[in-house]
Chains A and B, each alone.
Chain A
Amino acid sequence: KNQVEQSPQSLIILEGKNCTLQCNYTVSPFSNLRWYKQDTGRGPVSLTIMTFSENTKSNGRYTATLDADTKQSSLHITASQLSDSASYICVVSRNTGGFKTIFGAGTRLFVKA
């Protein structure tokens, strides 16, 4: 079954600290993996995309990693800011005919002053 599991469900950190969010997937055949940031009450916004051959991708303070062998990805946030408080959603697409994109449930991150 094609699934995307994210952990933790929620996370509270202090401003300035680093954190890492996890995404495990069983989606096959794999096409690409994206991380989205969703502010409360808003639509998700894409942060990074990685294909099978890429194992790391950065976007400012956000760094995503991908291990296609273990089917795991992580999103590392460096020097967190209050504005990083949001849900982070892992999205995996299948490399097959038809429409197949699977969304994780997201990790809710709270950054406190």
Chain B
Amino acid sequence: QVQLVESGGGVVQPGRSLRLSCAASGFIFSSYGMHWVRQAPGKGLEWVAVIWYDGSNKYYGDSVKGRFTISRDNSKNTLYLQTNSLRAEDTAVYYCARVKGSAETAPFDYWGQGTLVTVSS
């Protein structure tokens, strides 16, 4: 069965960095695009970034562009999100999610359980 397991969250001071990971299993990871989506405490879902199945294309939400970097290692079945220059407003649960199919219009069909990032001094 499809499994996505995030890790790497924690408490970090403003301005510092964290690298989040998402370990995938139960499907051919190298055939699927992947997203990061976050949710601030008590708030709604916010799309963060996407990477194509082969890493050829990457797009970012306006609030993280220039600070966050999405990447993947298909040999390790793992998705990453490098988060730099963290701000208090980046505090959220970060989810990885798989793209159902290959089109930009495709939905997110599987989600991990999330990893909490808290930015605080």
Partners in one complex: no
Q: Which residues of A contact B (CB under 8 A)?
A: none
Q: Which residues of B contact A (CB under 8 A)?
A: none
